[in-house]
Structure 1
Amino acid sequence: MDLLRFITCGSVDDGKSTLIGRLLYDSDSVSLDVLATLEKKRNATNGDAVDLALLTDGLKAEREQGITIDVAHKYFTTPRRKFIITDAPGHVQYTRNMVTGASNADLAIVLVDARQGVIEQTRRHTLLASLLGIRHFVLAVNKLDLVGYDEQIFNKIVADYQAIADYLKINNVVAIPMSALNGDNVVRPSKHLAWYSGPSLLAHLESVPAAADANPHEPRFQVQYVIRPQTEALPDYRGYAGRIQSGVYRVGDRVRILPSGLETVLKAIEVGQKEVTLAEAPQAVVLHLRDDIDVSRGDSIVPVSGHPSVVRELEATLCWMDERPLRAGRKLLVQHHSAVVKASVTAILQKTNIETYESMGTDEAKLNDIVRVRLKTAIPLVADEYRQNRQTGAFILVDDQTGATLAAGLVTATDPEYFTQEVPVEPAFSI
């Protein structure tokens, strides 16, 4: 049974938490004690229906305001597939939370209120999900019960969203009409939507091809911890612990240590304190090398051929998450998994207008802005471009004084020749 990770996104009050609650409730994935608690809350408020949003909105502030603030994860299983759901907040000030939730998703459900149609947050979340490498999208046109299940309204929203998908080169979009509150077409087909011949949301989620896992990619492993017990029983033990980020490692593979460039052979692999002949992503392993060479936390152990770039200058797309604006010349830290290096922003190349998707010149990035920048690091960084490997092409920027997370970053270019070219400017987009 395979696993599908998906995120619900869209604007505030589009019904994301209610949709997830309906999925869990109608697929019999809610435990009896939780159901009993919901029933008590319904009786206490004299409500006519269970408030399904409470299944995901767990913070006190969320329940008081009726909105999602933090990212919530829910797990459920059907006879055909396992699922991990991420409920992302819709408010623009919580866009950074949405980026966090979408970073590991295979599919995005973009909710649209049938009364509102496609709005700015719809564009913002679609752009971010696309940048983060999500390739499967569901356009969930919700609250159709409030517009009389009007097919023409549904078709108009689908056409508007398809224009966005075409512009962003999103090829896999499935539009599904529904009412999450009433359960129309979420788990089971609805008699109110007789004009719709496609699958329910759950039926589509069970059948959509799962995103390719990390194993077809080039092998990538970054050292998290160097194990040197130096005991009488293990006087010569030296192992390099971490999680395989992508690909497959086999005993006998010839590998290169980056950024130093030293080469050696993979002598042994441990998984759960037992030796194995091979291991694959995303297993946690301890690697042993044939030669006694210098390897530290943050170094990468990769194949001799097909290894990532070792760079001190790179171009990246950032979602800026700090109240303080970013300006060229600012010094900060790049945290790339276990590796933490000092860096500076040498240039802010352009900002994306969320309303039109136009690339604009700018000299600063404000909270929730999406910008392209150039970074220069104090010591070499080992990374792939994000479009080639989501695991090794992502990083965060950290304030070197406070330790606060400043931005989520995606590596877009590492080739030195690229930096001599002019930055292409994207044309404006409108619907």
Structure 2
Amino acid sequence: MDYDEEMFGDDDDEYDQHYEDEYTASPSDTSYLYQRTRLTSTNQTVANAPRLFEFIPDDKPAAVENTFNFDDDSPIDEVDVPPPPGFAPISKPPTRPSSSASTARDPVKAAGFSISRIETPEPRVVENLRARALMRENWEAPKGLTPNASSHRLNQLASILAAPSTPRRERKRAEGKELINLVVVGHVDAGKSTMMGHLLCKLDCVDQRVMHKYRQESERLGKGSFAFAWVLDETEEERARGVTMDIARTSFETEHRRIVLLDAPGHKDFIPNMITGASQADAALLVVNANIGEFESGFDKGGQTREHSMLIRSLGVSQLIVAINQMDKVNWSADRYKEVESQIRVFLERQAGFSKITVVPCSGLAGENLTERVKPGSLLHKWYDGPCLLELIDRLKAPARASDGPLRAIINDIFKATTSQLSVSVKIESGDVEANDEVYIMPTANTAFVKAVSMEGSSAASGAFTGSQALMTLNGQFEPDTIHPGHVLTSRGKDALMPGRTFKARIVVFDIAVPIMKGTKAELYCHSLCEPVTFKKLVSEINKTNGEVLKDRPRCLAKNRSGVVILETEHEVAVEPYTICKQLGRITIRCNNQTIAAGIIEAKVDIGDI
């Protein structure tokens, strides 16, 4: 089916209408707002689904630009404001105070007026004096801004922007193996944690005594097959429920690569955590279940295989390995492998837009084809003699990184927070950081000094580079409750990240049942950030292939359409245009536990310009 013909041909007459400023939604229109419980799950149709490769730009080194413009912060002149014209005193007789406390608060008596000392007590005159004193107190112009958190923060932002830029450091990248951040995704119960736990055991990354303990404990609970999964699922709740709930992070090395492994949850209830992990990734490993019925439940309507694939592509991941797991449960059937491989490849290439895909059969529980190629005589060797999973991971390539750009370090987790010190885990998306550096936490504008920093998986504490996961200890004056994952560390000067609330974004709408309209409320995901957001304006509907404007001020954006919109977050957030920092410019939008759109931030806008 031709997408352009469908785009122009399937619109009903109602979609050709445009918003007017005075338009008032009728009761029937109100029912289409995202303020009700979803009626259907995502309609996964390959023919009508958006093709993200036509919309998401290819990865290129981030350009460093100065796009921040601030108004002149001139001092406020003192102005004496007279009482308003036409003032008429109150004619109602005054009420005599009943206590000394109320007398002390009386502005007339504070000014030296006493009713007992007036020879001819005229009620109107007394009330006139009282009213004038009150008016003088209320209308006197302030001598200056009263110090408060807002004014202090604005002054701090202005001083950060006006400060000299942090000098560029000429330093060599750490010699050694290339760093790859690899996220593991897939439908719940596909065997992701078991597969990676077994791989880590085969690489001697897990102490044998610890593994023996896991086997004993899991068997005692009647979950002997979960022993390898417990290598990554460390919390009691995850082990009791048998599902990964949060991002598990570890590292290992191959022959040519140093891998930071991010094991993401597969259950639909934990999609926000999966997005957080995928936003940090350079490449992805998609695990699918070869069991008859299990693959279909994850791949068809309502499954997470499709949604995870679309999400990682919209977050900029272009390298993908597909592991068809649990092949031992289908007796290493070549026919079943080809059936699953053909379906998943068509979807990933034609709809999700992946071009670099490799597929490998394996068994995470049995350990077959994980770290070594299958041996002659095995059932798998009869029809497969390709590389094992570890070989494919070793072939992954690191993307271009903005190592020469200004510092952008995203806070992913906070381990310790006091009024004077923070211990955080960060992903450095641009620039580098060393001990004793001065950094700023956005959007709060707190100043911090780096006490110590080290890359995860490395014993050295000298610094961290672009693309690395790092542990940092920050000193300063903090309000611990105001620092959260999703905040960003930045350097000073004209290249400093400035927070905002209103943005122009270019989005592609997923296969949704209810169109996006002006006023739609949702959740915005960007790197480790999650923030309530409102669609303030639908600027235009565009052709997602070439950006051509198809309709100005559309009434709505229906499924599989693309458009330019104005978004407003509930609070100021640390994001940037895609052209400045890719990872801070990619966004995902969800509503009612469903991903409804993804896109990129084009620019920050003032609320008055909408």
Provide the TM-score with structure 1 as the length reference.
Answer: 0.62
One of 201, 204, 209 as aligned partner of 2:392: 204
Contact persistence 2:183–2:261 (CA under 8 A): yes
Q: Secondary structure at the match of 2:379?
A: helix
Contact 1:219 1:247 in 2 (8 A): yes
Report how far residue 373 of structure 1 moved.
5.3
Select between 11-20 and 40-49 the one with higher mean Cα deviation.
Answer: 40-49
> How far apart are the structure 2 equivalents of 1:212 and 1:124?
26
The counterpart of 1:390, out of the listed 569, 573, 582, is: 582
Q: How many residues align?
A: 345
Q: Name the CA shift for 1:205/1:331 in 2 (closer, same or farther; >3 Å).
A: closer
Q: Which has the higher strand share?
A: 1
The C-alpha deviation readout for 1:271-318, integer Å capped at 9, x for no partner, is: 879xxxxx96369899xxxxxxxxxx989769989x999995311659
| Correspondence for 2:380 among 188, 193, 204 | 193
Structure 1 segment 86-125 matched on structure 2, within 5 A: 86-114=262-290, 115=292, 116-117=295-296, 118-119=299-300, 120-125=303-308
Candidates 76, 89, 97, aligned match of 2:252: 76
**What is the deviation of 1:156?**
1.7
Residue type of the alignment partner of 2:602: T
Partner SS for 2:348: helix
1:155 aligned partner: 338
What one-letter code is carried by the residue in structure 2 that aligns with 1:58?
Answer: E
Paired position in structure 2 for 1:171: 355
* Separation in 1, partners of 2:250, 2:537: 40
Partner AA of 2:355 in structure 1: N
Partners of 1:160 and 1:416 in 2: CA distance: 41
C-alpha contact (below 8 Å) 1:5/1:83 kept by paired residues: yes
The answer on whether the counterparts of 1:243 and 1:285 sit within 8 Å (CA) in structure 2 is no
1:4 aligns with 180
Mapped contact 2:576–2:603 kept (Cα < 8 A): no
Q: Which one of the candidate residues 113, 119, 126 is aligned to 2:309?
A: 126
Counting only pairs closer than 5 Å after superposition, residues 345-356 of structure 1 correspond to structure 2 as: 345-347=535-537
Aligned ranges 1:21-420 → 2 under 5 Å = 21-41=197-217, 44=220, 51-114=227-290, 115=292, 116-117=295-296, 118-119=299-300, 120-167=303-350, 168-190=352-374, 191-194=378-381, 195-215=383-403, 218-219=405-406, 221=408, 245-247=429-431, 281=466, 312-315=502-505, 328-329=518-519, 344-347=534-537, 374-376=566-568, 384-386=576-578, 389-394=581-586, 412-414=600-602
For the Cα contact (< 8 Å) 1:113–1:143, is it kept in 2?
Answer: yes
The C-alpha deviation readout for 1:306-337, integer Å capped at 9, x for no partner, is x99999531165999xxxxx985478998989
Following superposition, the deviation at residue 62 of structure 1 comes to 2.0
CA offset digits 1:71-92 (Å, max 9, x no partner) = 2112223453322212211111
The 1:98–1:377 alpha-carbon spacing in structure 2 relative to 1, beyond 3 Å, is closer
Q: 1:319 to 1:84 in 2, by over 3 A?
A: farther
Contact 2:226 2:242 in 1 (8 A): no
Q: In structure 2, do the counterparts of structure 1 residues 312 and 19 end up closer, same or farther at CA, with 3 Å as the change threshold?
A: same
1:197-242 Cα distance to aligned partner (Å, 9 max, x none): 32110111112212333326x5455899xxxxxxxxxxxxxxxxx9
Structure 1 gaps, min length 5 = 225-241, 250-269, 274-278, 287-296, 321-325, 351-360, 398-405, 418-431
Structure 1 pair 95/48, CA: closer, same or farther in 2 (3 Å)? closer
Partners of 1:108 and 1:154 in 2: how far apart? Answer: 20
The equivalent residue for 2:608 is none
Kindly tell me: are residues 62 and 27 of structure 1, through their superposed partners in 2, closer, same or farther at Cα, counting changes over 3 Å?
Answer: same
Does structure 1 conserve the Cα–Cα contact (< 8 Å) formed by 2:450 and 2:473? yes
Structure 2 counterpart of 1:257: none
Whichever residue aligns with residue 320 of structure 2, its letter is: F
- Distance (Å, rounded) in 2 between the aligned partners of 1:389 and 1:78: 29
Q: 1:154 Cα shift?
A: 1.1
Q: Partners of 2:491 and 2:360 in 1: how far apart?
A: 45
Letter in 1 for 2:505: E
2:509–2:557: 8 Å Cα contact kept in structure 1? no
Judge conservation of contact 2:276–2:528 (CA < 8 Å) in 1.
no
Give the share of equivalent positions with the same residue, in percent.
25
C-alpha separation in 2, matches of 1:342 and 1:49: 40
Which string of whole-angstrom CA distances, capped at 9 and with x for unpartnered residues, describes residues 376-404 of structure 1? 4799988554487333314799xxxxxxx
Partners of 1:96 and 1:223 in 2: CA distance: 16
Partners of 2:522 and 2:397 lie apart in 1 by 40
Query: Deviation of residue 182 (structure 1)?
Result: 0.5
- For 2:356, give the aligned amino acid: N
* TM-score normalised by length of structure 2: 0.46
Gap runs ≥5 in structure 2:
1-176, 412-425, 434-448, 453-463, 475-486, 511-515, 542-553, 606-610
Q: CA–CA distance in 2 between the matches of 1:159 and 1:334?
A: 34
Residues in 1 aligned to 2:239 and 2:274: alpha-carbon distance in whole angstroms: 19
Q: CA 1:144/1:303 → structure 2, altered by over 3 Å: closer, same or farther?
A: same
CA contact (8 A) 1:385 1:411 kept: no
Distance 1:21 1:374, change over 3 A: same
> Structure 1 165/388 Cα, relative in aligned 2: closer, same or farther at 3 Å?
farther
1:223 and 1:84 map into 2 onto residues whose CA distance is: 16
The structure whose RCO (Cα within 8 Å, separation 6+) is larger is 2
Structure ID, larger Rg: 2
Contact persistence 1:246–1:391 (CA under 8 A)? no
Counterpart secondary structure, 2:198: helix
